[in-house]
A and B are shown apart, each in its own frame.
Chain A
Amino acid sequence: MILIEYIVGLSGLLASALFIYGLKGMSSPVTAVKGIVTAGWGMAFVVAVSFLQAFRVPDDVLPHLPVNLGLAVLALALGGLLAGWKGRTVAMTAMPQMVALYNGMGGGSAAAVAAIALMKHEGGTPLHLGVTVTGALIGCISLTGSIIAWAKLDGRMKKPVRFSGQQVFNGVVFIGTLALGVMTVVTQLQGSSDGGLFAMLFFAGALFFGLCMTAPIGGADMPVVISLYNTFTGLAVGLEGYVMSNPALMIAGMVVGSAGTLLTLLMAKAMNRSLSNVLFSNFGASSGQAVQGPQGQMKSVDPADAATTMRYASSVIIIPGYGLAVAQAQQKLYEFVKMLQAAGVDVKFAIHPVAGRMPGHMNVLLAEAGVPYDMIYDMDDINDSFATTDVALVIGANDVVNPSARTDKSSPIYGMPILNADQAKQVFVIKRGQGTGYSGVQNPLFFQKNTSMVFGDAQAVLSKMVETLKSLGTN
């Protein structure tokens, strides 16, 4: 029996080492694939070995063991197959919301672990129960919060839910939940029969608070929020690891907790937003009305004309945005780019740090279409080149090229670093309609003299452009 305990313990140790090694690998593009595979082996090993625990359960569990084992295998197979299948088949554009969903699942799992620990009165000291309840609170918030984040990014929940006095309401819900948590601990310590009731109310309150906290946050801020909930789940797992005396959970959870905190801050910084700003400021609530739209007329141009201009330009910088990915037009774009290159045009891609829905998302989407690495430039590397570039082609991007972020102090996105597309000699913007971007802010770039709008779905427009270039030939 003692041998099993050693094997299980050492497997956790090995897994922790592999996780850290794998995470380190994932921090460089060269070793990234090896990193996730390493961490994956660690996980497979520790999950398999954890079944050995079935041999050392207390006697009162023995009659239930066959059912428990059956349930465990069923749950592993079901959860694994469903999530694995969905993860394999989902479109690359939908990756951010899948990360949110899987993260919420982890939070829910941590909450379930806490619930069982409470029912079993394990440990029973105030500290132990306090940690259990804290982990449960964080896990529950992560679960429902992540589901809201998923729904928003997936377009199932279009508008942020806001009402007056919302922050006070959320504050009351949070304090009420905390109070229920304290009552749960107290009743557990007293062994009172009300313990179960308070625990249930506490879990309901924590789940409800996750909804309340996330509902008013706008879709544009979701990447930061998802990263925050990723951190939350990590912390919840770490705390439940303490409750279960499992150091592997403590280490993995806390590593994710601190790495996630750092990632969250980096992302918020890339968007020029502080975390408290994201969580409490109701971004974009009033911008539509308060900020006067720029005056003037948008010029629109035919795709064929725009394509011809680019064909005879010497340099073109392309600024892809989420609109490109939504239209699934990356492949078409790259086809167009290859034809431009064949005609001797110098083509580069400029990627804003938050292009797509998350930092790095757009790089992944372009890589999927086969765009070579050396054509893709980060904002800092390319921003000075716009002034000497003939054409800037903006596809489905909006806020990241909005010059009012530089000049207009009243703009909600003021101070956000942007790509200097407006400095190019000629700007083409492929856009579905005249609407505003994700932040709801009007874009003066579209009204500039040297800007021409190409209205239409990116896929359709790029198809027309490719045809135009074909008819022009390569010389």
Chain B
Amino acid sequence: MLTSMTLIIALYIFMLAAFTGYVVISRVPSILHTPLMSGSNFIHGIVVVGALTALFTATNIVEQVIGFFGVLLGAGNVTGGYVVTDRMLAMFRPSTKKPGQSATDKKTAS
């Protein structure tokens, strides 16, 4: 079912992805460090897809239990990571830059 991937191609993918991550992040102002860490936390939540694949092919109760928890934890990573990042970044909406904005826009933003 799964096509085997040669080691070399895998290393190419890893190498290119590593440079991509480095370049994308390298010029970030420090005020965005926390949201960005949270954002990358959300992105590695894609592990839930791997957990889903594993759970779909489970053939006994042990695999089903482990797969269930894998998907559960992965879903938590994805949703939690997204919500937290979104809430943090909502603070950076242009409207908050205007002086005299009240704190109520926290509620409208979320």
Contacts and interface: CB of A to CB of B under 8 A. Distances in A.
Interface of A: 12, 15, 19-20, 22-24, 26-30, 32-33, 35-37, 39-40, 43, 46-47, 50-51, 53-54, 56-58, 60-61, 64-65, 67-69, 71-72, 74-84, 86-88, 90, 92, 95-96, 98-99, 101-103, 105-106, 108-110, 112-113, 115-117, 119-120, 122-123, 127, 226-227, 230, 233-234, 236-238, 240-242, 244-260, 262-263, 266-267, 270, 331, 334, 351, 353, 358-361, 363-364, 367-370, 372-375, 378
B104 to A, nearest CB: 8
Contacts of B33: 263, 266-267, 358-360
Given A36-B86, A245-B5, A248-B49, A112 B54 contact: yes
B46 A29 contact: no
Given A46-B46, A102-B76, A259-B36, 19 more contacts: A26-B35, A36-B85, A36-B86, A43-B78, A47-B48, A79-B71, A79-B79, A99-B41, A102-B77, A106-B44, A242-B10, A245-B3, A249-B50, A254-B17, A262-B25, A263-B37, A361-B34, A363-B91, A364-B35
A360 B35 contact: yes
B74 A105 contact: yes
A12 B13 CA distance: 14
B4 A32 contact: no
Given A68-B56, A246-B49, A331-B103, A19 B87 contact: no
B24 A27 contact: yes
Interface of B is mostly: helix
Interface of B: 1-5, 7, 10, 13-14, 17-22, 24-60, 62-64, 66-94, 96-103, 105-106, 110
B63 to A, nearest CB: 6
Contact of A358 (B37, B58, B74, B94): B37
A113 B14 contact: no
Given A84-B80, A238-B17, A372 B99 contact: yes
Q: Which 6 residue pairs are nearest across A and B when measured between Cβ atoms?
A: A112-B70, A79-B75, A87-B83, A83-B80, A258-B21, A254-B17
A58 B56 CA distance: 10
Nearest to A362: B31
Given A33-B92, A87-B79, A43 B41 contact: no
Nearest to B32: A360
B37 A260 contact: yes
15 contacts: A33-B90, A36-B82, A36-B86, A58-B57, A68-B67, A72-B56, A102-B77, A230-B37, A234-B40, A251-B17, A253-B44, A258-B25, A259-B25, A360-B35, A364-B88
Contacts of A363: 31, 91
B59 A64 contact: yes
A254 B43 CA distance: 11
B9 to A, nearest CB: 9
A419 B77 CA distance: 36
By CB atoms of chain B within 10 A, which of A50, A65, A270 has the most?
A50
Given A27-B28, A95-B84, A250 B13 contact: yes
A29 B41 contact: no
Contact of B56 (A28, A53, A246, A364): A53
A88 B30 contact: no
A227 B36 CA distance: 10
B46 A20 contact: no
